[in-house]
Amino acid sequence: MDVNLDFESGFAPEGAQEAFESMVESADDQLMERMEEAEQNIQKEAQQRSPVDTGNLRASWTGLTEARRGTIMTEVGNTTDYAEYVERGTSKMAAQPMLRPALDREQMALIRDIEQLVFRVAAKEGNA
């Protein structure tokens, strides 16, 4: 991620640009690690919530976390053609949510952890 600080007033604290770049790089690395952890947590909980008949649904959960154009993306899904029907239900079958509860639980923890990460990185770099 490219960051350029521009001080229009003419006041440019020595080392400010470098410190800010270091802070962003540190935050990016830690955020990537946390997003990979979120991927694993969501996938694991979705697997645990999956009903088991043959075991195919439970075994077919996949996940991927990657950085694309400055954005960290995490995807968790199921490769079976019937997972969505199990998740949402049909007119003749009740829903058995697997992914949505896992996402909801991890989202709350992720928001909290990202807030803490930002404060930790800012405090560390501010004292460097």
Q: What is the three-class DSSP state of 34? A: helix
Torsion angle defined by CA atoms of residues 58, 79, 100 and 82, in that order, rounded to the nearest 10 degrees: -80
Asked if 73 and 65 count as a contact pair (C-beta separation under 8 A), the reply is yes
- Mean per-residue pLDDT pooled into runs of 10, the chain (128 residues): 50 58 73 95 98 95 93 95 97 97 95 89 68
Return the pLDDT at 41.
97
Return the pLDDT at 29.
84
Is the whole model's pTM more than 0.85, yes or no? no
∠ CA 37-40-45, nearest 5°, is: 125
Return the pLDDT at 5.
44
What single-letter amino acid sits at 105?
R
- Pairwise CA distance, residues 54 & 52, whole Å: 6
3-class SS letters over 47-102: HHHCCCCCCHHHHCEEEEEEEECCEEEEEEEECCCCHHHHHHCECCECCCCCHHHH
Backbone phi, then psi, for 63, in 5-degree steps?
-150, 155
